[in-house]
A and B are shown apart, each in its own frame.
Chain A
């Protein structure tokens, strides 16, 4: 009897041996290997699964010599019973680890295109209204109300409009966009199709970062599949009736620049120019790519749209806290026992995220600090761990949720060196358009280098605070405006180390 073995083909699963298992076992006579997406419980990867009487059975951290016991069905764990997964509210990642990324059949049988079908039965204005009702906010980091963007793009008249997915997931510590693109690319494409219908766009781009070659390959294949199936292309079913039913999509790969994740810099880069931040207004929804109305949103934002159209905006607005609706994909990493992706409604406390999902500290590690929201996010110490994960409480704490990255640092971390690292990153990545960021980041890095090397001078910390204030107030975009936060919070919480 042939046994089906499900092995993830996600980059992180492959990075810890999934390909090696698949390669070693594909020659076995009684085995059929099916490559799926990953559950996102990366601490268990490679996680090999088989079909059980009540759902999948998993063998975590599998090695080549585990095959006999997997085939005998010994010592497996029902996947649904793994607490890390059982405690989540999976919506956008409901099919993670279950389906084959490029199988349209799998996508359809797991809720695919229900949202698009619902959208096409309504007038475009109604679709925008549904998004507004959902109170969805941009998941890339800026948390801008998505409905307002859609409305502006819809109401602006032009001969051509664009939909652009920001797949320049540059915040270190985050990978949820990568998981969508590699694991369920059709969900992103469906979200973009709905957006195109709503605003009347005929052309879309996915701006994918250079560091994600597997995501770019998967997306190109997925576009091919949807074109052949009639969803994309010149006379597509899913396109906008007002634009003759046309919507075509293209993947554009960048060349390694963090600031290209800022929407105006991204659009410059998409036009082939230097990725330099532009002043707003005009907003891209009014004048974006090639000067045309452009709806630009993060990958996860588009990937959330199909569920909203399928279940209704009110359903989405009922999840989460007062001003933070829906679920957030937390990517918990650093020195925790169980690094991985946890999709939960907004409102969980930071320590619950670290303890209940992260499993607490890794063996031998003691908690020192946690950074939330990528390289521009603030640091929290134990005293801040009761903060609830939602936009309001984070804003009150002077912090950001960013793209949902949570990185835990242990007692061996040198905070001065870490602060230098943060500022060196900004100095490396500054586009140079505004002086506070271009000059400020270099000066701040130099001061921190001095302190690291024991050449600190009296007044250095005051100078950093002053410089930080200028960068916060006067920078053109969030790179310069947020860069001082991790450094200043490091100084605030660990001042003794900066002497």
Chain B
């Protein structure tokens, strides 16, 4: 059984909501939680298991920014682009991280250690600029302190 088939057979994924229809988003998030991303080649398999069309699955997969269609690096570094961070000149932090990591937004370092992304607000606006690494949130980040955040993430 493929790893995706295994997830699709989990009781919490199979469970039908009160609407009696499968929840495509919940299913894709469950797959991503296990595999780190949802491979687009698996769309027909997922659609078949849920009893919906390929287009319905693909539509959901490609419309949510946090659903990944390819693997990310071991640690996802996100620089917040919310208005409070913009007001606190987060662009300078982003530039510094791009320089230190040698990648641009949406790219992964060659060693697979970091993927650099932007995010629109994580609610840390009163301690901006904000950088997140995985689920860890860092506030009051400056271009001078940004690189030091990375060292604990191997």
Contacts and interface: CB of A to CB of B under 8 A. Distances in A.
A255 to B, nearest CB: 4
A258 B120 contact: yes
Interface stretch (A98-106, A113-121, A209-217, A463-471): A209-217
Interface of B: 17-19, 21-29, 56, 59-60, 63-67, 81-89, 119-128, 130, 135, 137-140
B87 A333 contact: yes
Given A257-B64, A271-B23, A273-B24, A170 B125 contact: no
Contacts of A174: 121, 123, 125
A229 interface: no
Given A173-B121, A269-B25, A15 B87 contact: no
Contacts of A16: 127, 139-140
A279 interface: no
A409 B63 contact: no
Contacts of A212: 122-123
A413 B127 contact: no
A242 interface: no
24 contacts: A11-B123, A12-B123, A12-B139, A15-B124, A15-B127, A15-B140, A16-B139, A16-B140, A170-B120, A172-B81, A173-B83, A211-B123, A214-B135, A256-B64, A257-B63, A272-B23, A272-B25, A274-B63, A289-B19, A339-B84, A339-B125, A413-B87, A421-B86, A428-B120
A316 interface: no
Given A210-B66, A255-B65, A339-B125, A271 B83 contact: no
A289 B23 CA distance: 13
B83 A253 contact: no
Task: Tell me if A's interface is mostly helix, strand, loop or mixed.
Answer: mixed
Given A14-B137, A274-B59, A255 B64 contact: yes
- Most chain B beta-carbon neighbours within 10 Å: one of A211, A212, A252, A375: A211
- Most chain A beta-carbon neighbours within 10 Å: one of B23, B64, B119, B135: B64
Given A333-B126, A405-B84, 16 more contacts: A12-B139, A160-B18, A172-B120, A174-B125, A255-B64, A255-B66, A275-B64, A290-B17, A335-B87, A339-B127, A371-B83, A375-B83, A407-B84, A412-B89, A413-B87, A421-B86
Given A15-B130, A290-B19, A339-B126, A272 B119 contact: no
B125 A257 contact: no
Interface string A248-290: 0000111111100000000001011111000000000000011
Given A269-B25, A273-B24, A256 B66 contact: yes
Contacts of B27: 272
B138 A15 contact: yes
A169 B26 CA distance: 20
B89 to A, nearest CB: 7
Given A272-B22, A409-B87, A413-B87, A172 B126 contact: no
Contacts of B21: 271-272
Contacts of B125: 172-175, 331, 333, 339, 405, 407
Given A274-B60, A339-B84, A12 B23 contact: no
A339 B86 CA distance: 14
- Most chain B beta-carbon neighbours within 10 Å: one of A43, A256, A289, A413: A256
A408 interface: yes
Which 7 A-B pairs have CB atoms at the shortest separation, nearest pair first?
A172-B82, A272-B23, A256-B66, A42-B126, A334-B87, A15-B139, A255-B64
Contacts of B28: 255
Contacts of A392: none
Nearest to A260: B64
A42 B126 CA distance: 6
A25 interface: no
Contacts of B126: 12, 40, 42-43, 175, 331-333, 339-341
Given A172-B120, A258-B120, A271 B84 contact: no
Interface string A413-446: 1000010010001001101000000000000000
